[in-house]
Amino acid sequence: MMGSYMYHETNMEYEYEPEVPHYNSTQASQKNDVPQDLSDNRSNHIKTISKVYANVLATKPSSFYEYESFSLFYDEIDDYSLFKKLGSGKYSIVFEAVHHVRDEKVVIKMLKPVKRKKIKREIKILEGLKGGPNIVKLLAVVQIPKDLTALIFEEMVNNEDFKTVYLKLSEEDTQYYLYQLLRALDYCHSNGIMHRDVKPHNLIIDRENRQIRLIDWGLAEFYHPGQEYNVRVASRYFKGPELLVDYNYYDYSLDMWGFGCVFASMLFRREPFFHGSNNQDQLVRIVKVLGSNELNAYLKKYNITLDDQYLQLLGHHSRKSWQRFVNTESEHLVDTAAFDLLESCLKIDHMERISAKEALAHQYFAKVRRRANVEGPSATCTLNDMKTP
């Protein structure tokens, strides 16, 4: 039942953030990713600052976001017994376990050796988001032999991998679970945190209890305005255009691109919606839908230079209508409001994308908000929950 906690880690598209401070375009070109000379003009890129929650960390104590000097507190490892191995990936092994004292089933994610600061960052972020809506709950951290670290997570009772069901949901459930995902994103953004790996593999769902959790915060990072961030984050099919053109000054809007890709797959029953064979081809697939004019305007606006070979590969494409992707299987899911929200998410220009907070108030979710008001404060989702800290 709990295999989804590790599914994303065995996914071939997953890319872990390297230890280098910036994207190594030479290595990428050798792997058929971004061309070697793509970022020659990086120092001349126009810097942007998030239009929402830009300075939220300035209102918090440094202890909230400084993780390199963070001291870990470990729970007693003897309090846990493993039931079974659920799976393993490149960076962890996942088990179902029980905590004897609390008689509570949990999920244990044993981290394989990575730099200590990476582990500290993930733990620091999970602790900072504890209690947030629809965010997987970190219960404890334990140290195991050979100086390895394990993270203890809550177990959802009727857990399913979102990826196995998200293309089969009704219109009502599609709206409901997307709304819940936005609540998680707005909460983490309002606390100065970017997830940087939003995709179906990183969502688990309990349809019986109508719950969803955003998991795997291993690539998440604190947002400091004007800071350069590594572009080797997110999985290929969900990479924002800013990553694919080596633009380092991205922000929370990267998560909204990932959300938009999930939304598009659900609306059109097409998985993944942008299906590139490598990082170069991924941008080609995006441009074939959104059009060359939008990309060219983006490159010019932020002074981003692509090499001639990459530009030739991208070619010239006209903008496609969203209606073009509707089929008999998905026509009941789409309407004007759905198209409008999707358009607001999938903007090549990251500064033009809708924020999670704005998306929560979008007309597409009017039924979800009305239902929450009718059900009252005991409902899973209420309007009060939309308020950010």
Give the phi and the psi of residue 264 in degrees, each rounded to 5: -60, -40
DSSP string, 183-220: HHHHHHHHTTEE----SGGGEEEETTTTEEEE---TT-
CA distance from start to end of the chain: 34
Which one-letter DSSP state was computed for residue 348?
S
Which one-letter DSSP state was computed for residue 91?
S
Distances (CA, A) of 304 to 43, 292, 296, 354: 10, 15, 9, 22
Sign of the CA dihedral running 52, 54, 60, 65: positive
Please check if 288 is assigned to a binding site. no
- Which strands, in side-by-side order, build the sheet including 203-206? 160-161, 203-206, 211-214
Find the catalytic residue in 33, 161, 186, 197.
Answer: 197
What's the gap between Cα 255 and its chain centre? 5
Whether 197 is a known active-site residue: answer yes
Angle (CA) 269-271-272 rounded to 5° is 135
Spatial separation of the C-alpha atoms in residues 159 and 174, rounded to whole Å: 17
Angle (CA) 165-171-177 rounded to 5° is 55
What's the gap between Cα 278 and its chain centre? 19
Task: Report the binding-site residues.
Answer: 109
Provide the annotated active-site residues: 197
Task: Report the binding-site residues for ATP.
Answer: 109
